[in-house]
């Protein structure tokens, strides 16, 4: 049976929500997540950097119509870690 | 408590799952297509089913069927690019086993109703096209209202 892995990096509430907002999609813009979570640029950047350093999130900056857009997507490792973490939480709750 | 649980209590896990549910609800909200899109899709898929059921031996209905198919593709593309302009790139291919199964079953049901309607209309049941068109249209509305990408994901708990 597959062992679900608790992940302390993802466990922080904001980081868990960032992963949950990106997970159903291919990628989501930084500003969308900021608006949904109602946090400041600096707070979100800090969490995104932590997830990026862990190899869970890929950050892509693109310029469209003269405006820079920052797209966030879950890496394969990030998706696996997120799914494993959620499953581990559900196992704990029972 | 499990060894890999990072020594968190059941309450902390419940709290984390509550944050997760909150994020899933937010994702549901921004991924759900607007009402106008759902109504347009209902008419297009209903119309496509009706036209397909009427198309045997009729070049006019075959033509109408093609128009509905093009309209379906255009509407899907418009929605895709609308979400993209709003900062969300939707996944095209299902990722998990549950999502693949869900996509296959829903596609199969719609296709089965469509093919069944074509066969039954040929057999002389003239009321079948309108009934099958209504069923497929309402089915499409229900799916677009309740099973967005995250909806399918939320229901894949434990995978």
> Which residues form the domain of A59?
8-93
Each residue's pLDDT expressed in tens, for chain B with a length of 159 residues: 344 455 788 888 899 899 888 888 888 888 888 899 999 999 999 999 999 999 887 889 999 999 999 999 999 999 899 999 989 998 887 777 787 888 888 889 989 999 999 999 888 888 999 999 999 999 999 888 887 754 444 444 444
Which burial class, exposed, middle or buried, applies to B37 when counting CB atoms under 10 A from its CB (0-12, 13-18, 19+)?
Answer: middle
What is the CATH classification number for the domain harbouring A60? 1.10.10.10
Asked whether residue A34 is assigned to any structural domain, the reply reads yes
Contacts of A31 in chain B (CB under 8 A): 87
Whole-angstrom distance, CA of residue B32 vs CA of residue A46:
29
Where are the domains positioned within chain B? 8-152
| Domains identified in chain A, total number | 1
Asked whether residue A72 is assigned to any structural domain, the reply reads yes
Q: Which of B17, B30, B31 is facing A93, going by the closest CB pair?
A: B17
Whole-angstrom distance, CA of residue A86 vs CA of residue B8:
13
Contacts of A47 in chain B (CB under 8 A): none
> Which residue of chain A has the CA closest to B5?
A6
């Amino acid at each position: 049976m597959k062992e679900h892995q608790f992940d302390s990096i993802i466990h922080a509430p904001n980081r868990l929500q960032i992963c949950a907002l990106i997970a159903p999609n291919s990628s989501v813009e930084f500003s969308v997540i900021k608006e949904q979570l109602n946090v400041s640029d600096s707070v979100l950047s800090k969490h995104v950097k932590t997830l990026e350093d862990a190899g869970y999130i890929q950050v892509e900056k693109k310029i469209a119509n003269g405006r820079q857009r920052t797209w966030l997507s879950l890496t394969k490792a990030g998706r696996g870690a997120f799914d494993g973490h959620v499953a581990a939480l559900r196992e704990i709750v029972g | 408590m499990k060894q890999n649980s990072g020594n968190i209590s059941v309450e902390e896990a419940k709290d984390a799952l509550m944050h997760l549910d909150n994020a899933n609800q937010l994702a549901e909200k921004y991924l759900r297509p607007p009402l106008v899109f759902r109504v347009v899709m209902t008419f297009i898929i209903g119309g496509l089913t009706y036209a397909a059921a009427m198309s045997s031996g009729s070049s006019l209905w075959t033509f109408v069927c093609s128009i509905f198919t093009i309209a379906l593709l255009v509407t899907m593309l418009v929605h895709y690019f609308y979400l993209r302009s709003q900062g969300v790139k939707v996944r095209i291919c299902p990722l998990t086993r549950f999502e693949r199964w869900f996509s296959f079953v829903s596609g199969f049901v719609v296709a089965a109703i469509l093919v069944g309607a074509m066969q039954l209309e040929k057999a002389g049941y003239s009321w079948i096209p309108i009934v099958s068109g209504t069923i497929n249209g309402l089915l499409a509305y229900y799916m677009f209202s309740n099973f967005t990408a995250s909806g399918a994901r939320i229901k894949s708990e434990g995978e």
